[in-house]
Amino acid sequence: METYDLIMKIRAKTGLSQNDIRKSLEALQEIIHEEISAGRDVEIPNFGKYTVVSYAQTQTIEPVAVDTITEFNTNIVNEKLNLVDSIISKKTLNRIPKHIAHHFQVIPVEERDDVLVIAMADPEDIEAIEFLKKKINKNLEIRPCTQKELNYILKQYV
């Protein structure tokens, strides 16, 4: 229900003018806002309860420089792959489970010896890279890709 609808229903039940109803509603909103802003709860029986809720303060996390990624035996190669119309083997796709690939927007592309080549829409997503490094237990070679390419390969998961 929108404000106008509420005003019309109140008008039908009380016979008050639209202007008087609008002023009353605005005053009610202002009073509730003042009380909540002062840290006090407002409870109107059979109407509603407005409670001040406090949340824990969030911590600031210092960003990690991209060049520190090399400490994790991870190599970011700025050379793009052309993944349009590419078919990735099931064995390679299974190196990163489907739900993880979707969550981190990453796809395994090729596996060589102790290196897994992965493509990412955001190759500087350090959280994703660290997670994958631990999960896969292999050196990573990271290549940028477009969202279109990523979506094309994600559809290959069964």
**Cα 147 from chain centre:** 16
Res. 23: pLDDT tops 90: yes
Residue 40 corresponds to which tokens in the numbers above? 């006090």
Type of residue found at 22: R
Q: How many residues comprise the chain?
A: 158
Percent of the chain with pLDDT over 70: 83
Residue 53 corresponds to which tokens in the numbers above? 């809720």
- What are the tens digits of pLDDT across the range 96-153? 999 999 999 999 998 888 888 899 888 888 888 888 888 888 888 888 888 888 888 8
pLDDT at 69: 46
Domain architecture of the chain: domains with CATH = 3-50 (no CATH), 66-154 (3.30.300.160)
pLDDT at 59: 59
All residues at 6 or more sequence positions from 119 whose CB lies less than 8 Å from its CB, including other chains: 81, 83, 106, 107, 109, 142, 143, 144, 145, 149, 150, 153
- What are the tens digits of pLDDT across the range 28-38? 989 988 988 88
